[in-house]
Amino acid sequence: MQYLNDFSHIYVEEDIKNNPFTKEILSKFPKAEIIEIEHYKDKFNPYSQNFRAQKNSQKLILAQKEPPFLYEASDLIQKQDKNFLYTTPMLNCIYDCHYCFLQGMYPSSNVVLFVNLEDFFDEVEKYLKTHNNLFLSISYDTDILAVENIFGIAKKWIEFAKDKPLKIEIRTKAVNVEKLPLNENVILSFSLSPDEVVSKYELKTPNLNQRIKAIKKVIAKGYKPSIAIDPIIKIPNYKKIYKEMIDKIFTEINPKDIESIIFGTFRMNSTQFKTIKKSLVSDLMYYPYKIENKKVLYEDDKEIIEYFKEILSNYKEKLFYV
Ligand code: SF4
User: Reduced to 3 states, what is the DSSP secondary structure of residue 164?
Assistant: coil
- The two counts, helices (H) then strands (E), for the chain are 13, 18
Kindly report the pTM of this predicted structure.
Answer: 0.94
Residues 97-114: tens digit of each pLDDT: 999 999 999 999 999 999
Q: What are the angstrom distances between the C-alpha of 134 and each of 122, 198, 224, 310?
A: 14, 32, 18, 31
For a mutational test of ligand 1's pocket, the pick from 95, 111, 175, 211, i.e. the residue with the most ligand atoms closer than 8 A to its C-beta, is: 95
On average, the pLDDT of the chain sits at: 94
Q: Residue 182, CB half-sphere, CA atoms under 13 Å: how many?
A: 9
Residues 137-141 have a mean pLDDT of: 92
Whether residue 89 is predicted with pLDDT greater than 80 in this model: the reply is yes
Residues 162-183 have a mean pLDDT of: 96
What gap in Å lies between CA 11 and CA 38, rounded to an integer? 10
Residues 31-85: tens digit of each pLDDT: 999 999 999 999 999 878 889 989 989 999 999 999 999 999 877 776 667 789 9
Residues 219-223 have a mean pLDDT of: 98
Residues 139-165 have a mean pLDDT of: 95
The proportion of the chain whose per-residue pLDDT surpasses 70, expressed as a percent, equals 97
173 lines ligand 1 (CB under 6 A): yes
Ligand 1, closest atom to CA 142? 3
Q: What is the model's pLDDT at position 162?
A: 95
Domains and CATH numbers, the chain: 67-321 (3.80.30.30)
What gap in Å lies between CA 145 and CA 142, rounded to an integer? 9
Distance 142 CA to ligand 1 centre (A): 6
